[in-house]
Amino acid sequence: MRYPNRVRLGDKSIVKIKNKCEQVKSYDIIIIGAGPAGLMAGIAARGAGAKSVVVLERNEKAGKKLYITGKGRCNVTNDCTEPEFLQNVVSNPKFLYKAIYAFPPPAATAFFKANGLELKTERGRRVFPASDKSSDVTAALLKALKASGAELLLNKYVSKIQMAYDNWQGTNIFEIQTGNETFRTKKLIIACGGLSYPATGSTGDGYKFARELGHTIISPRPALAPVLTREGFAKRLQGLSLRNAGFRVLNAAGKTLYSGFGELLFTDKGVSGPVVLSASSLVNMADFKNETLQISIDLKPALTYEQLDARILRDFSEGTNRQFKNSLDGLLPKSLIPVIIELSRISEIKALNQITKEERGRIAALLKDFRLTINGLGAIDEGIVTAGGVDVKEVDPSTMESRIVPSLYFAGETLDVDALTGGYNIHIALATGRLAGLSSGKPARINT
Per-block average pLDDT, block size 10, for the chain (448 residues)? 46 41 85 97 97 96 86 92 96 97 98 97 94 96 98 96 81 92 96 77 86 95 89 89 93 89 92 89 74 93 94 86 89 94 94 92 96 88 85 98 96 95 95 98 63
pLDDT attached to residue 291: 80
pLDDT attached to residue 12: 35
* CATH T-level fold of 6-222+387-440: FAD/NAD(P)-binding domain (3.50.50)
SS (H, E, C) 289-342: CCCCCEEEEECCCCCCHHHHHHHHHHHHHCCCCCEHHHCCCCCCCHHHHHHHHH
Give the list of residues 6+ apart from residue 240 with CB closer than 8 angstroms, or none.
265, 266, 333, 335, 336
d(CA 84, CA 24): 46
pLDDT attached to residue 201: 60
pLDDT attached to residue 252: 87
Q: Amino acid identity of 335?
A: S
Nearest CA among 35, 141, 66 for reference residue 384: 66
Element (H, E) at 25: strand 24-32
pLDDT attached to residue 198: 66
d(CA 431, CA 40): 8
pLDDT attached to residue 69: 81
Total H helices, total E strands in the chain: 12, 21
CB atoms within 10 A of CB 137: 27
Dihedral angle at the C-alpha atoms of 393, 397, 398, 404, nearest 10 degrees? 40
Nearest CA among 241, 379, 362 for reference residue 309: 362
pLDDT attached to residue 22: 57
pLDDT attached to residue 212: 95
| Residue 206 DSSP label | H
* CATH T-level fold of 226-378: Helicase, Ruva Protein; domain 3 (1.10.8)
d(CA 266, CA 247): 13
d(CA 211, CA 190): 12
Alpha-carbon 105 to chain mean position: 17
d(CA 433, CA 31): 10
Kindly list the domain boundaries of the chain, sorted by start residue.
6-222+387-440, 226-378
Nearest CA among 94, 43, 109 for reference residue 426: 109
pLDDT attached to residue 280: 87
Nearest CA among 302, 300, 447, 448 for reference residue 367: 300
pLDDT attached to residue 202: 67
d(CA 43, CA 33): 13
